[in-house]
Amino acid sequence: MQPQRPKLDPLSAAAIMEDGYQPKSTGKTGDWQRVDDEMLKKLNLDPGKFRSSPSGMHATLYRKPGTESESEGFVLDYRGTARLGDWSANFRQALGMKSEQHEQSMLLGKEVSAALGPSLVGVTGHSKGGGQALLVSQAIGVDCVTANPAWPSLGTLKAYGFNPETFHNGKGGPSVTNLVVEGEPLQGLQSTGVVSLVPPRQGVELQGPKFEFKPQQHSGLRGHEPGDDPDLDMARPMFAAVDGSKHLLKLHGIGTVRESLQNSEVAKLADVAHKGGLSKVDHIIAEKDGGQGHFLVEGKLGDPSAKYAKVMGALPSGLLGQQLIQHINQHGMLNRPQIQQGGEHAPTLPHTRQI
């Protein structure tokens, strides 16, 4: 049997997007590892094109090694706003004009696609990087996962030869998953209609953290906040007028996206396990023979007494998968009494809610 092509799950994508802001990899991306300059050269890719100066376009390539059951895979991540020069790309894109950053991100995406072929399984990006990832995904026909993305304008889509209606309704194009935290300010600002922005076709709505309001010094009067990721630091001036306590800014950050997504996934998977009669989860295994789902397993693999609960969609493996199992088992849902349903199998539930 031929190895299956790897799929990029949302949790791994969020970890990749968070890691992409760091000068050196944090090592918290599970099976997906950052590709260094030496390996880029072996792949016939120019490392300098991933870090463009002076425009500031910044991208990172991640690799998942192949196994007997799964082929090697790559993901191309575009970083969000991390310097003042990035705002030129933000404003030009919003006004429907091409920017040097977007030009370079498109060229890089096409070069990476040509070099890697079907091994390139995903494009990711947060905030400004999400807008770039959306355009690149359309250009090369590769699935995309974004977080609180900047919507492309009507003019930008037309400038690159994309059909705005097709981009919005998603018919015939690559799969696009947008992770959006409820109450996140960028999505609200983009919905005002001040400029003609085109929202992507679907999103996964995430419940963000609840903040207790406490009057504070206005964020516009503060300087750099140690510990903020670069996108948060550079986005602060945009939200300063309406966000004196920094709550909206935190909702925009990739760290909040990742944490909110993990909480959502854990709750839904714990519910699936509970309804499937599992009291704990020992393994998460991918469905074989080209299936699109995974199985939550209680007991030893191959043991006839093991219990299984199926869930549709991609889930992480490796370290991220083990961490997911730990969080599922700590969730209160699995400690509730099992509900009998007259011997009928519990229904299979999706692990993300599409809106």
pTM of the model: 0.81
Q: Which amino acid is at 92?
A: R
Q: Respond yes or no on whether the N-terminal peptide bond of residue 54 is cis (omega within 30° of 0).
A: yes
pLDDT at residue number 195:
61
Q: Which residues, 6 or more positions from 268, have their beta carbon under 8 angstroms from its beta carbon? A: 349, 350, 351, 352
The amino acid that residue 112 corresponds to is: V
Predicted confidence at residue 353, as pLDDT, reads 34
Indicate the residue type of 44.
Answer: N
Contact 147, 187 (CB under 8 A): no
pLDDT recorded at residue 338:
61
Mention every residue, 6+ apart, whose C-beta is less than 8 A from residue 155: 95, 96, 97, 196
Residue 267: φ, ψ to 5°? -60, -45
CB 318 within 8 A of CB 64: no
* Residues forming a β-bridge with 286: 294
Per-residue model confidence as pLDDT tens for the chain (355 residues): 678 889 999 999 999 999 999 989 998 999 999 999 999 999 999 999 998 766 678 999 999 999 888 899 999 999 987 544 434 444 445 444 456 788 899 999 999 999 999 999 999 999 889 999 999 999 999 999 999 888 888 888 888 888 888 888 777 789 899 998 887 767 777 776 656 778 886 666 676 665 443 444 444 434 444 444 445 444 555 555 444 445 556 777 898 899 999 999 999 999 999 999 999 999 999 988 777 899 999 999 999 999 999 999 999 999 999 999 999 999 988 877 665 554 444 444 444 433 3
Neighbours of 325 (CB within 10 A): 19
Q: State residue 215's pLDDT score.
A: 40
70's CB contacts (< 8 A; 6+ apart) are 3, 4, 5, 6, 64, 286
HSE-CB at 124 with a 13 A cutoff on CA atoms is: 28
> Smallest Cα–Cα separation from 185: which of 135, 137, 256?
256
What is the bridge-based pairing of β-strands 307-312 and 120-126?
unpaired
What pLDDT does 83 receive? 47
Task: Read off the DSSP letter of residue 54.
Answer: T
- As a CATH number, domain 10-218 is 3.40.50.1820
Could you tell me the CA-to-CA distances from 264 to 129, 257, 327, 329, 351 in Å, in that order?
Answer: 23, 10, 11, 14, 8
CA distance 208 to 214: 18
**What CA–CA distance (Å, rounded) separates 298 from 304?**
11
The residue behind tokens 């920017």 is 99
Cα-atom radius of gyration of the chain, to the nearest Å? 21
Instruction: Identify the burial level of 142 via C-beta atoms within 10 angstroms of its C-beta, where 0-12 means exposed, 13-18 middle and 19 or more buried.
Output: buried
239 near 248, Cβ under 8 Å? Answer: yes
> Cα(187)–Cα(180) distance, rounded to whole angstroms?
8
Find, among 129, 263, 150, the residue nearest to 209 by Cα.
263
Residue 106 phi, psi dihedral angles, 5° rounding: -65, -45
Concatenating the DSSP letter of every residue in 164-184 gives HHHHHH-TTS--EEEEEETT-
Q: Could you report how far apart the first and last alpha carbons of the chain are, in Å?
A: 36
- Give residues with Cβ within 8 angstroms of 309, minimum separation 6: 272, 273, 275, 276, 277, 278, 295, 296, 346, 348
What letter would DSSP give residue 306? -
Strand partners, 222: none
